[in-house]
Structure formats: C-alpha cells, structure tokens
Amino acid sequence: MTTLLSVQGVTKRFGGLQALTQVTFDLPEHQILGLIGPNGAGKTTLFNTINGVYAPDEGRVLFRGRDVTAAKPYHLARLGMARTHQIVQPLNELTVRENVMAGACFGHKRHGLAQAARVADEVMARVGLAPRADLPAGSLNVAQKKRLELARALAAEPHLLLLDEVLAGLNPTEIAEMVQTVRKIRDQGITILMIEHVMHAVMALSDHVLVLDFGQLIASGPPQAVAADPRVVEAYFGDPKLAQQLQGG
C-alpha cells in the first residue's frame, strides 16, 4: 500500500503551550483515517500543521513522497491537498456555483473559468447542491453550507481531502446523508483524513483511527480496538456523552 501522507515527529508550540508533541503516523492511499480526541486535544492544530497554516517546531510532513513541511496552503492545494473548515467560510455574495468554481480555479489542476464551471456543475451534482447552483451562498442553511464547503474542496480535485468536523451541526438524517457522501468520495479514489466528534459516524467510516489527547497520540488502530483502549476511554471520561458514544451506548 502506497503511503500518501507521512507525519513524522511533529511538534508545535504556542509560547508556553505545547499543542502537539512528537505526533507520527502514515496514511495510505484510498483510506479514511479518523482523528478523534477531546476538545482542545490538538486536532485542528495538527490539521493546520499538515495543511501549511502553521510550520511545525519539530518534525516533518511528507505528501506524495515530497517533504512539504511548512509549505504554504496554496502550494499544497496545487500538489493535491484540499480541506474543509470547522466553521464554514463561503463567499456569501457569490453564487453556489461561483464558490465551487473557486476551488477548481485554485486547486490541483488550476482550471480556467470555462472548465472550472464544468467541474463545479459535476461536483454540485455529486453532493446534492445542483438545484441551488444559482443561489447566493449566504442564503444556504447550515447543512447546505457544509456541502458547499465540501464541494469547493472536491472541485480542487485533490488526492488528499482533510475534513474538519463536516458533520457538526447536522441532524441525524443529514449526518446519514453526509456519511454516504464521504464514502462515495473515498470510493472514487480520494484519500480522507477527518476530524470528527460524531463517534458512531467516524467509527463506521474510518479504516483506521488516531486518538489525540493533550497534543499526544495516545492510540492508533482499527476503530473497534481504539474504542476499547483504556487510555482512550479515560481521555473521554471528562465528557460523559462522548464516552458513552465511544463505548457504543
């Protein structure tokens, strides 16, 4: 199995705060890797370090066999890495189609406007946004904006897709629909690294799960094994609801 992303001993500090400590893992092509952990565990900081928002203080990030440590996000986008954000950030005054076109124009293949429009129409159909293509992005509800964020990332035609809490704020029906969408994306050959708090969904989707706590990787393995790991259960005891979900309650 070919390794698409390799994170090697990544450490990140913010002044006196140690946000990440010697985080190491590999992500093979065509897999879904779930990243879980209590609030404040360092999950989004790790995403931002992989994605070039932050430079690590120690360690390396390799993507498709290249050392991309501290590369800028726009450079990584051109290499085939795309992401969504926990707080959706649509270009509210532009239409849904124009938002998705932006992903195609600045992504892996850097399409011109005509081809970007074709890519946008195809991607909107895949994620269920085609009927809203000509509406202002600001008029969408939360679930639709989540799909727009996903569509814009997909329009970049990435090799690796980073999903930051794409299920947050959705109702159970919307979660089930989004889970099916994420599965289809993986089946189309895109590798996925996802942060998620909806435990039953991330456990069902992931081929492999990583657990962060206080910036350290405390467990790694298949979902069932990770859910039964005493260190993981202890990490979630501070949030009874999450602990119950983790244990299948």
d(CA 161, CA 142): 20
The pTM of the full predicted model, rounded to 2 decimals, is 0.91
How large is the average pLDDT for residues 28-51? Answer: 95
Decide: 105 and 111 in contact? Cβ < 8 Å.
Answer: yes
Would you tell me how many other CB atoms lie within 10 Å of the CB of residue 113?
Answer: 10
Decide: 180 and 6 in contact? Cβ < 8 Å.
Answer: no
State pLDDT tens for residues 1-20: 899 999 999 999 999 999 99
The whole domain housing 135 covers: 89-158
Decide: 132 and 175 in contact? Cβ < 8 Å.
Answer: no
Asked if residue 61 and residue 30 are part of one domain, the reply reads yes
User: DSSP string spanning 140-196?
Assistant: S-HHHHHHHHHHHHHTT--SEEEEESTTTT--HHHHHHHHHHHHHHHHTT-EEEEE-
Q: How many structural domains comprise the chain?
A: 2
How large is the average pLDDT for residues 35-43? Answer: 92
Asked if residue 58 and residue 111 are part of one domain, the reply reads no
Nearest of 124, 122, 126 to residue 137 by alpha carbon = 124
Q: Which of 158, 180, 199 is the last residue of a domain?
A: 158
Q: Which of 158, 183, 218 is the last residue of a domain?
A: 158
Decide: 151 and 127 in contact? Cβ < 8 Å.
Answer: yes
Asked if residue 220 and residue 248 are part of one domain, the reply reads yes
Asked if residue 202 and residue 165 are part of one domain, the reply reads yes
Query: Can you list the alpha helix ranges (DSSP code H) found in 28-171?
Result: 43-50, 73-79, 96-106, 113-127, 142-154
Asked if residue 245 and residue 217 are part of one domain, the reply reads yes
Task: Give the CATH number of the domain where residue 208 resides.
Answer: 3.40.50.300
State pLDDT tens for residues 66-119: 999 989 999 999 999 999 988 888 999 999 999 999 999 998 889 999 999 999
Say which residues have a Cβ less than 8 Å from residue 20's Cβ, sequence separation at least 6: 10, 11, 12, 42, 45, 46, 49, 56, 215
d(CA 104, CA 110): 6
Asked if residue 225 and residue 176 are part of one domain, the reply reads yes
Decide: 5 and 28 in contact? Cβ < 8 Å.
Answer: no
State pLDDT tens for residues 188-220: 999 999 999 888 899 999 999 999 999 999 999
